[in-house]
Amino acid sequence: MSKTIVTCALTGAQQGKDANPALPEQPSEIIQQGIDAWRAGASILHIHARDSGGKASSDVAVFREIVEGLREGGCDALLNLTTGGAVAGLPLDERIKVVPELKPDIASFSVGGGSLLGRYDVKSESWKGDRFVSLFSSHAELERVARIFQDNGVRPELEVYHSGMLNNIADLMERGVFEEPLLVNIVMGIPGETSRATVKNLLFMTEGLPAGSQWLVSAIGARNHFRMLGAVVAMGGHVRVGLEDNVYLQRGKLAASNAELVEKAVRVLRDLGSEPATPSESREILNIRAGENR
């Protein structure tokens, strides 16, 4: 039986309870939903932090509270802390602090200069969400951050929004800053300068990955979220679900929790002849030893 790693992205940095009242914002909510998602079959939890008002935060103390709460709750999932939040305006040097200070199993690492986001709304005859989100200003800065990951024994989850970012991965590999296997998250479906969520685009992107890479797909939005899952599994990839990426369980029905999205993903996996990997199996697949940074 094949094994598929299920990642649950619990909250993100953008949408709030106005999009779905079930979206967790405060540490206690994130901890409980993380534990429930782990029990439902997620072996990796992707974690953002929020401040007391529900806005994205890079406060290491909040991340630490979430991490400790998950571990105290018996959760042995691999924890993937974000270094993202650029879309929310958080500065890079603040976002990256979770790597040396908390040394999580995994942390996200967007390997590109940035993305022009937004879409044209025909009804209002105007652009919505129209802005450039800056990620890195130079290849040297990319390498600097990659070495922070390497020096602290943290596996980067390489976030890729379009095929040009694959060139950056190849260049950084030549600099010797990555442990193998690479873990690559192909992000698809965000309006703007990102790959459309199609099987053809996914095939093109995965063919450009270094040999031996482990990869997953973040298919953003209700239209894409579960529609891409079957193709991902058939192609040997791993899956990501969660309220960060999609607030609906099905058309017109908001998800009641992150765990509900994980449960649906697990049902689909099993129908396709795969099983969700346990945290220990996920560590073996990714060659990440338990507790090596703690």
Taking only the tens place, the pLDDT of each residue in 60-94 is 999 999 999 999 999 999 999 999 988 888 899 99
Taking only the tens place, the pLDDT of each residue in 187-211 is 999 999 999 999 999 999 999 999 9
Q: What pLDDT score does 203 carry?
A: 97
Taking only the tens place, the pLDDT of each residue in 214-252 is 999 999 999 999 999 999 999 999 999 999 999 999 999
What are the sequence ranges of the domains in the chain? 2-286
- Two tokens, residue 29: 């909510």
Tell me the pLDDT of the chain averaged across its residues: 95
Q: Is pLDDT at 1 greater than 80 in this prediction?
A: no
Helix (H) or strand (E) holding 137: none
Q: What is the mean pLDDT of residues 266-274?
A: 96
Q: Between β-strands 49-50 and 44-47, what pairing exists: parallel, antiparallel or unpaired?
A: unpaired
| Architecture of the 2-286 domain | Alpha-Beta Barrel (3.20)
Q: What pLDDT score does 74 carry?
A: 98
Taking only the tens place, the pLDDT of each residue in 252-268 is 999 999 999 999 999 99
Please give the Cα distance from 82 to 95 (Å, whole number).
8
Check if the beta carbon of residue 243 is closer than 8 Å to that of residue 24: yes
Q: What pLDDT score does 291 carry?
A: 66
Query: Could you write out the DSSP letters of every residue in 175-231?
Result: TT---SS-EEEEEE--SBSSB-S-HHHHHHHHHTSPTT-EEEEEE-SHHHHTTTHHH
292: confidence class by pLDDT, cuts 50, 70, 90: low
